[in-house]
Amino acid sequence: GAGVSQSPRYKVAKRGQDVALRCDPISGHVSLFWYQQALGQGPEFLTYFQNEAQLDKSGLPSDRFFAERPEGSVSTLKIQRTQQEDSAVYLCASSLVPPGLRGTQYFGPGTRLLVL
Amino acid sequence: AQSVTQLDSQVPVFEEAPVELRCNYSSSVSVYLFWYVQYPNQGLQLLLKYLSGSTLVESINGFEAEFNKSQTSFHLRKPSVHISDTAEYFCAVSGVNYGGSQGNLIFGKGTKLSVKP
């Protein structure tokens, strides 16, 4: 079946602009994660959803970052008033079961955000 | 909290030579361990994982990794690499006792494997 998809694949934003990044997880997957991957670094955790509930947002770097998953499937990561340091690849991953049941995380291709 | 160290940022190797990509972790709780691979212009793909049981785990394309609890390591090895193995490899851990609401992966900075003819 289809894997995790993300859109747009590339986004160029002017500093101060708001952006919205979309993630379509694998159908039926309960868990959804967002990660941020800066250039030359490994991915870093941002937030986690179990169905529509956002159970962990400890990795969000500032209150300019907001994520939602209102119907327990598609998720949107929104960044308000973008700054240059927000430039990174944003990865979405989904898992069939909650983390406690050892679900494997499947990653999307990422959205590469460049803030000018 | 957990952390992952991949000591080698780049590993050049000739085709058909053996390779080892090193990964060490630190954690105050038991962990699950993973290796992900990222081919050029593609997303992260799970290569192999250790959850429990046998400490030696294998992938379908000839890679293997061994969980060594005493050395807190999970090094990735392949006895003979191919050009097609050129990619970036990420080691990751997930804490087992995280309270049931997390399970997010903690990644190393990655190792770029470059296989030359």
Task: Report pLDDT digits (tens) over A77-103.
Answer: 999 999 999 999 999 999 887 665 667
Q: How many CB pairs under 8 A join A and B?
A: 69
Measured CA to CA, the distance from residue B51 to residue B111 in angstroms comes to 22
Q: Cβ of B5: how many Cβ atoms within 10 Å?
A: 14
Which chain A residues have a beta carbon less than 8 Å from that of B109? 40-42
Using one digit for the tens of pLDDT, what is the confidence trace for B46-88? 999 988 888 899 898 899 999 999 999 999 999 999 999 999 9
- Residue appearing with tokens 């989904």: A94
Of A41, A48, A102, the CB nearest to B104: A48
Q: Which pLDDT score, from 0 to 100, does residue B40 have? A: 84
Using one digit for the tens of pLDDT, what is the confidence trace for B82-107? 999 999 999 999 876 544 434 788 99
Using one digit for the tens of pLDDT, what is the confidence trace for B17-43? 999 999 999 988 788 899 999 998 788
Strand partners, A67: A77
% of chain B with per-residue pLDDT over 90: 66
Which chain A residues have a beta carbon less than 8 Å from that of B110? 41-42
Which chain A residues have a beta carbon less than 8 Å from that of B94? 99
Would strands A44-50 and A31-37 be described as parallel, antiparallel, or unpaired?
antiparallel
Q: Cβ of A110: how many Cβ atoms within 10 Å?
A: 25
Of B102, B103, B109, the CB nearest to A42: B109
Question: What are A54's two structure tokens?
Answer: 């956002």
Q: Cβ of B27: how many Cβ atoms within 10 Å?
A: 18
Q: Which pLDDT score, from 0 to 100, does residue B100 have? A: 41
Pick from A9, A46, A89, A102 the residue to mutate for testing the B interface (most B CBs within 10 Å): A102
Flag residues of chain A having pLDDT under 50.
none
